[in-house]
Structure 1
Amino acid sequence: MKTKSNMKKTWLGMLFVVVLVATAMATTAFGGEAEAVEYTSNMYATAWSLVPPLVAIILALITKEVYSSLFIGIVVGGLFYANFDIKLAYLTIFTNSTDGGLLTNLSDSGNVGILIFLVILGIMVALMNKAGGSAAYGRWATKAIKTRKGALLSTFLLGVLVFVDDYFNCLTVGSVMRPVTDTHKVSRAKLAYIIDATAAPICIIAPISSWAAAVAGVVEGMNGLELFIRAIPYNFYALLSIVAMLTLTITNTDFGPMLEHERNAQLNNDLYTTEARPYAGADAEAEVVGNGKVIDLVLPVIVLIACCIIGMIYTGGFFAGESFVDAFANCDSPTGLLLGSVAALLITFVMYIPRRVLTFRQFMDCLPEGFKAMVPAIMILTFAWTLSGITGLLGADVFVASILESSTGVLQTLIPVIVFCIAVFLAFATGTSWGTFGILLPIVVPIMPVGSELLTITVAATLAGAVCGDHCSPISDTTIMASTGAQCDHINHVSTQLPYALTVAVVSAVNYVLAAAIQNWFINLPIAIISMVVVILVIRKIYGAKELPAE
């Protein structure tokens, strides 16, 4: 008999096939008419351009169902772009007649690299589960990490160590720490929050990361990496997200929907709380057939980290003579992750088969299992990329940029907080932090005095706002990755993280006003940290201490 979980996976697979068949049919039927032409929607660069992503986001939060919500948002965007011409809308959504369609996104080398990286990660997790490495690690970790607080802090520490790329961070930390947090009855929603709060926020303040490379690449006329490093102490949202997470963990505080998830996990041993649990039973379904040891999980993960770093610097020209930092600055992150993960999978094969941890047949059986586990993430990412692409066709970025340009005449001390709020909204609506600072930084940098502290603060506000909006958005790829890494229902992750992200955002906004007035990070950063801790303590006072079972 099929379980509810298996039926849902079958339904998702069928839906994905239907979408791909529709794409193929559209390409075949209209291929001759799908050539790119000069075309501008009547709604281009107007407030209407923000409606499709907002429709998808609002529907997802109301219905708690992300696939149909994203697809409806895509359809609305396609109709808007085509001025309600149904045939043109169909071509826009499903073919490569534009830069934002489904086929265009699925044929983009960077996107394909991320999808293959996802699948290989799923395969490696399936392998480690079947070999018994995950179970052995779980038994060891249960003895070594004796408290919930220790489990949460260990997850945070691993997230800090895996700082080179947010996608890699989300999936690796989730795979390694799930057995530990499950043992200590940490809800999947809380695990997803810890993963998300140590992915983008860590990467955006790490000088050696794919994010630093992306920022340095869009700043013209000055040393982008130097400006990025100077902006780190003013990147309040990233820094205060880490402060908030540590304060919440150390003081044992939760609030909003997260409080219900955590109480339910600890008192009722239910890690999911709601009926939406796409990954429930996934580990149980993965039969352990090998006598794996802790090294059979730890070594593949270490190899994966090393190979992905090597892959990234390889694409940046490190082995052609570039310095390590320059190689990161010029790297092709999706290609590097793909190369690294393939190498890690091959090395895992060499580790397992000769030692007879798994037979060749058992190893091969994990390939479709890993792919099946990643179907929800692949579906959401594909739809999210398409929605973001169509939003770009509608000129949402141009509309938001015009708002920023029109605000440059206001009092200079308000510029950083205005930029922060605009970046939050743009990243929330489009689901991309890279796209957000890629749009805003070329506008922000020229309007500020060259070399000034205010320029540094405003650049930091742009980066912070981009990460904040990305954190809050259900259509963000990193938010999707965090849900996947924690094996948490995506909407549960979004709804539980949102109050935390908004709390940090409000504190950050206030501190950007203060930073523009004081312009000294030695003073501003301690004020920001203290204010964040005080806010968390006030919230703890309002909600009261949680009633937890004795550990």
Structure 2
Amino acid sequence: MEFETYGMLSLLPAIIAILLAFITKNVIISLFLGALAGVFIINGMAPIDSVTTFIGDYVFVQLTDSYNAAVIALLVFIGGFVSLMEKSGGAVAFAKSVSKYINTRTKAKFATWFGGIIIFFSDIGTPLIVGPIFESTYDKLKISREKLAWILDSTATPVAVLVPFIGWGIYIMGLINEEFERLGIAESDFSAYMNSWPYFIYPILAVLIVPVIILLKKDFGPMRSAEKRTMKDGERYWSNATPLRQPATPDLLTENNSRPILIWLPLVVLFVTLLGLLIPEGFPFEAVSGSTFRVALSTAYLFASLTLIVLMLLFKVKQFKEAFDIYTTGMQRMLNVIVIIVLAWAIGMVMEEMGTANYIVQIIDGNVPLSIIPLLIFIVGAVMAFASGTSWGTFAIMLPIAIPIAAQLDISFYICIGAVISAGIFGDHCSPISDSTILSSTGAGSDHVDHVKTQLPMALLNGSITVLALFIGTLTNSPLTVFLAIALMVIGVFIMGRLPDKKIKSS
């Protein structure tokens, strides 16, 4: 078997990719050099031949595959649409139109949470659009900037990763499909994603802990201190704080002439088009092929983009050339994502040829209880995401390892996929160098260190529950485990919220 040929060397591509992700914080360099190292070994260390083989037999092969080409095209359509949505000012206009009804602390926090969910199409857009809109309301109602940053962070990547038809979902499904094809698994990527969805434990808890804490009024840890500071003295920051962004001026928050219709009508067109094309195929009662889903989704994004451009022209938000430039620039912004996913496919192909998963299985089979394999996947992925600050890179490196291991050891694919996704978002939430964490501090105009410090206890609570839920889920193989995790989170918030400050600080 392949692992008998390469042995420990089969681990080298994954090790190099993970270590370089820690060191360089650049997932493209990490994946490229990890995959190239594997090809060097396969080709007997011949340098020129290894490079040409890598480009011709691994990178080009991935680009010419019909499935992969469809995924890349879909990501380009999504990038154009998201850019139009971000630049149209529709989201800002919509939020401002409802902000006048927000006159209590509870309403303000719920409005922020809901606003983050509404802007599900852009994890970057959530903090940078929603934050500046609500910051003056938070100051007036004496809610801390740290609380605003936490809510923004909880509705950015955690929401984005739970939506199957935006860039995050398409990216994950692309990684899943590549491994399923190598393993000869007939299940569609969409079906696998949806079956794995209940095991996206951490993202689900991260989104739901916000309304739980709002309703129970049970802040804990440094967040409680921040809220007390703001309530008592109306101070937005601690005395030594350095906000990442000064308060936004009203004229910078939205495009002139923008209307709320610029956000809700394109989304309506998107959903109506998507359902209109899929329902005749039997959706949602019958399985729809991945290719049909991607064609329908690409068409839906195209129609939604055209609708948005027409609205921008109608309300004189942008000239046609400006709108078209925004659309094409958004397409170009997906280049990094496309390079990452192509390299992820390539390194997965390299590791398959080297028998990486087979070798790992040989090491752990009989030596490590199968029930803790998803936990090990979660821990390794979380450490990687924390150190590198990237959940995208974590998915790219860990899914090509986790799925084959699940196949070899007869563990649920869905739980292992959920462990990787949960690990990426958990590590991302805890990491001070994560782009989403930095953007949340920026969007809220809060001190970055204070944001990380106040968010960490909530993240650790949800991370601990995720570990327990993955263990129980592996034993029971039941997607209902997510409801147990939610119940434990509510109990955990209640208990932590009743602990005195002194006890929390000493723990």
Give 1:339's aligned amino acid.
Answer: T
Work out whether residues 53 and 391 of structure 1, in 8 Å CA contact, stay in contact via their aligned partners in 2.
no
Describe the superposition over 1:219-263 as per-residue Cα deviations: whole angstroms up to 9, x where unpaired: 958999999888776664454344434444544647689999999
The answer for the alignment partner of 1:30 in structure 2 is none
Partner of 2:306: 346
2:374 aligned to which of 398, 419, 422: 419
In the other structure, the counterpart of 2:18 is 53
Q: 1:326 is paired with a residue of what secondary structure? A: coil
Distance 2:285 2:397 in 1: 22
Residue 305 of structure 1: CA displacement?
A: 4.0
Deviation at 1:343, TM superposition (A): 0.7
> TM-score under structure 1 normalisation?
0.60
Which fold has the larger relative contact order, with Cα–Cα distance below 8 Å and residues 6 or more apart in sequence?
Answer: 2
Structure 2 length-normalised TM: 0.64
1:504 equivalenced with 2:462 (yes/no): yes
CA RMSD of aligned residues (A): 5.7
Q: How far apart are the structure 2 equivalents of 1:528 and 1:46? A: 33
Q: 1:142 aligns with which of 81, 99, 102?
A: 99
1:123 to 84, 87, 91: 84
AA matched with 2:272? A
Residues 43 and 445 of structure 1: CA distance in aligned 2, closer, same or farther (over 3 Å): closer
1:395 aligns with 2:351: yes
CA distance in 2, matches of 1:325, 1:482: 36
- Cα shift at 1:142: 1.3
* Structure 2 residue runs without a partner (length 5+): 139-144, 386-391
1:198 is displaced (CA, Å) by 2.4
Choose the corresponding residue for 1:240, options 183, 194, 205: 205
- Give the distance between the partners of 2:160 and 2:228, measured in 1 at CA: 21
**1:121: Cα distance to partner?**
1.7
Cα offset, 1:342, TM superposition = 1.8
Give me the whole-angstrom Cα distance separating, in 1, the residues matched to 2:247 and 2:7: 46
Counterpart secondary structure, 2:156: helix
Tell me if the contact between 1:304 and 1:344 (Cα under 8 Å) persists in the aligned partners.
yes
| Post-superposition offset of 1:51 | 2.0
Tell me what 1:461 maps to. 415
Deviations 1:443-487 (A, max 9, x none): 546755xxxxxx7xx45532320211332466xxxx999689979
- Per mean C-alpha deviation after superposition, the further-off stretch among 417-426 and 217-226 is 217-226
Instruction: Determine what percentage of the aligned residue pairs are the same residue.
Output: 15
Whether the aligned pair in 1 keeps the contact of 2:162 and 2:197 (CA below 8 Å) is no
1:384-433 CA deviation, whole Å, 9 max, x = no partner?
3355345335418953564346534368xx42332342256369577365
Indicate conservation of the 8 Å contact 1:419/1:461, yes or no: yes
CA distance in 2, matches of 1:442, 1:75: 21
Q: Using the alignment, how far apart are the partners of 1:257 and 1:391 within structure 2?
A: 41
- Give the number of equivalent residue pairs: 455
Identify if the C-alpha distance between structure 1 residues 501 and 90 changes in structure 2 by more than 3 Å, giving closer, same or farther.
farther
Q: Which amino acid aligns with 2:83?
A: G
Q: For residue 431 of structure 1, what is the amino acid of its counterpart?
A: G
Q: 1:16-58: per-residue Cα shift (whole Å, max 9, x none)?
A: xxxxxxxxxxxxxxxxxxxxxxxx9998521453222332234
Alignment deviations for residues 302-356 of structure 1 (CA, whole Å, 9 cap, x no partner): 334434x34xx73xx644x434343655356655443222211222344454xx4
Q: Is 2:58 the counterpart of 1:98?
A: yes
Structure 1 residue ranges without an equivalent (≥5)? 1-39, 61-68, 449-454, 547-551
1:326 aligns with 2:286: yes
Q: Is the alpha carbon distance of 1:196 and 1:224 closer, same or farther for their aligned partners in structure 2, counting shifts above 3 Å?
A: closer
Question: Contact 1:170 / 1:196 at 8 angstroms: preserved in 2?
Answer: yes
Higher deviation after alignment, 384-393 or 430-439: 430-439
